[in-house]
Amino acid sequence: MNTVVRFAVIAAFVSGSILPAAARKKPATENTPSKANVEAATRLQIFLDRANFSPGKLDGHYNDFTRKALSLYRESRGEPPQAPPPKANAKSNVAPDVTGLDLASVEPVFIPYAVTEADLQSVGPSPSKVAEQAKLKFLPYHDTAEAVAEKFHCDVHFLGQLNPGKLKTIKPGDQLMVPNVEPFELASVKGIKPGSEIAPKAVNDSDDQPDAQAGNPDENKRVAANVTVKIDTKTNMLGVLQDNKLIAAYPVTIGSAQTTSPIGEWKVRRITKMPTFRYDKEMLRHGRRSGNFYLLQPGPRNPVGIMWIALNKKGIGIHGTNTPDSIGRAASHGCVRLANWDVVRLATKIKSGDSVSIH
């Protein structure tokens, strides 16, 4: 079975979901995990996040995307897809099979983090009305808790569970416990280089070049690897393949029933960091531009987040989000949406001209 086919079949092997807050208040049962189970689930989520097989927001549960990311990670290592554990269902927190994973490398699971002045500088007024948002020169986080949660790839409610009573009044120097992931640094977005993390192909793996004669100054230059993006609208997962080998995967939100994501074969046209967004209700709802629109300035609360990857279809792109909780729901306006920390990592693996398949 080839990589593309294996990528598509994982939907039949994954299950599980995020538990509602009310359920987490009950005594520990199969559906309300103990502290040890929360730590074990978070350890797996961190392991997958570090491996670039993102489970989406970290929440201490063996949720749907954790299982999907694990299945794709095993696929990337040449292992066959695995069925879910016997009692796994939409509301269970039954652990998946983690045999062979170096989970001991994730130690400690949680680390202390001292809040900085920079964290507070990315927080500011966040009006709900688009007309008021359009008056701002930067669209910041609602509060410091939201900024810190995104920095460490986690659900803000989970951050609150790790730090009971500490999130309402956060000031520089305050110590918070956070998942032990590579932090997403908002200030570093401008320095991101598209395709910077893709390993180029060695010259002896490239096709013959008739004009590459001895003495040519470019003869030792390595050829860029063949990178493609596969977006599965059934599993809500995006895979990055290098020379047909799966090297990364991220959960996504796709188009709604009203504004579906464009099925087919596309190309990356350009990658824009910290984009300005043209909010046009007519365009978002019906795909037609109107003269009634607002320009929303860059920032983490911009509707398309902190990165826009344009495709060769007008108005359609792969982008970040101002609501990481929405990832995985069919609620976008035709585009493909990722968490900000994931879209940044995706941008380092692709470049203009790379193929994007939406199926």
pLDDT at site 255: 73
Q: What is the pLDDT of residues 53-77, one digit of tens each?
A: 999 999 999 999 999 999 999 999 9
Cis peptide preceding 85, ω within 30 of 0:
no
Cβ-contact 3, 77 below 8 angstroms: no
Closest to 246 in 3D by CA, of 100, 103, 110, 73: 73
Global pTM reads 0.82
Closest to 273 in 3D by CA, of 343, 337, 335: 343
Q: Is the dihedral of CA 328, 329, 334, 335 positive or negative?
A: negative
Question: Which residue type does 292 have?
Answer: N
Closest to 154 in 3D by CA, of 352, 341, 329, 358: 341
Cβ-contact 356, 267 below 8 angstroms: yes
State the Cα–Cα distance between residues 322 and 306, nearest whole angstrom.
Answer: 9
Question: Which residue type does 91 have?
Answer: K
| Residues in a beta bridge with 241 | 228, 246
Q: What's the whole-number average pLDDT of the chain?
A: 82
Joined together, the tokens standing for residue 180 give 């032990």
Domains along the chain with CATH numbers: 3-105 (no CATH), 110-129+139-179 (3.10.350), 190-206+220-358 (2.40.440.10)
Return phi, psi of residue 338, to 5°.
-125, 165
Four-CA torsion 124, 130, 131, 133, nearest 10 degrees: 20
State the Cα–Cα distance between residues 66 and 53, nearest whole angstrom.
Answer: 9
Return the residue matching tokens 């976008």: 332
Cβ-contact 171, 145 below 8 angstroms: no
HSE at residue 142, side-chain half, CA atoms within 13 A, is 11
Distance of CA 305 to CAs 8, 166, 215, 248, Å? 27, 27, 47, 20
Q: Residue-wise pLDDT tens for the chain (359 aa)? A: 555 444 443 444 333 333 333 333 444 444 567 899 999 999 999 999 999 999 999 999 999 999 999 999 999 999 987 766 655 554 457 899 999 999 999 999 999 999 999 999 999 988 989 999 999 999 999 999 999 999 999 999 999 999 999 999 999 999 999 999 999 999 999 888 887 776 654 333 433 333 333 344 443 344 456 999 999 999 999 999 999 999 999 999 987 655 677 889 999 999 999 999 988 887 667 666 778 889 999 999 999 999 999 999 887 899 999 988 888 765 656 789 999 999 999 999 999 999 999 99
Cβ-contact 227, 351 below 8 angstroms: yes
